[in-house]
Amino acid sequence: MERPVTRGSGGVVAAESGFVNVPNAVTLVRTVVSVGLAVPAIVQESMWLAVAAYLVYWVGDMLDGMTARWLGQETRAGAVFDIVSDRACTSLCAAALIVLLPGMALPVGIFLAQFMVVDCMLSLAFLCWPISSPNYFYEVHRGVYRWNWSPPAKALNTGGLVVLVLVSPTPLWPALFAVAVAAVKVASLVAVGRLLADESARA
């Protein structure tokens, strides 16, 4: 059983006694369906299946978070499950994009490296503080929250690249966008590292 943690804005998340709840079920279903669409999208080189996989991933990702908040079932285990599931969906959806649009391999590759490593570490950093998920990181560092988990940042950080890859006539603009996002993520991770070092020095 986990100790109670601050949800944010003064709220408290009840101690967790299990992993089975509605938001985690939504995360599981959206991950299985998205992956189930992305794999045949790669094999059959189907843009429609790739788009469907992304839509299931994005809609499901919004739905599991909203469900957790509505039902008061936000848990740290659920947040980690969501973060890991995002990587499963994104890696296969991005692989489908590379197969379908090989000329966009560079920007998609830059994004994948950033998302799978840098953003993963950044997203899991919330575990170093008594908050329930990255959605409440403003309790720790408002700038890092604003750059990464505010609603506009969330939409831009993932959806922005996919839209650019689909509409840009050249890989240049998506690649520049991917590099810019990666720079923000690295800067955010450095800020978090410094914050942890400062807290450790004061302890």
Domain ranges of the chain: 5-202
**Do residues 129 and 139 make contact, with C-beta atoms less than 8 angstroms apart?**
yes
Q: What is the CA radius of gyration of the chain?
A: 18
pLDDT at position 5 is: 54
pLDDT at position 7 is: 55
Q: Is 3 left (phi over 0), alpha (psi -120 to 50) or beta?
A: beta
Low-confidence ranges of the chain (pLDDT < 50): 1-4, 9-12, 14-15
pLDDT at position 118 is: 98
pLDDT at position 8 is: 56
State the angle between helix axes of 76-100 and 105-113 in degrees (0 to 180), rounded to the nearest 10.
160
pLDDT at position 19 is: 87
pLDDT digits 0-9 by tens, 52-68 = 999 999 999 999 999 99
Supply the DSSP string of 4-57, one letter for each residue: PEEEETTEEEPPP--S-SHHHHHHHHHHHHHHHHHHHHHHHT-HHHHHHHHHHH
pLDDT at position 202 is: 87
pTM of the model: 0.90
* Residues 127-150 as b or e (16 or more Cβ within 10 Å = b): eebbbbbbbbbbbbbeebbebbbe
What architecture does CATH give domain 5-202?
Answer: Up-down Bundle (1.20)
Distance (Å, whole) CA 120 – CA 192: 13
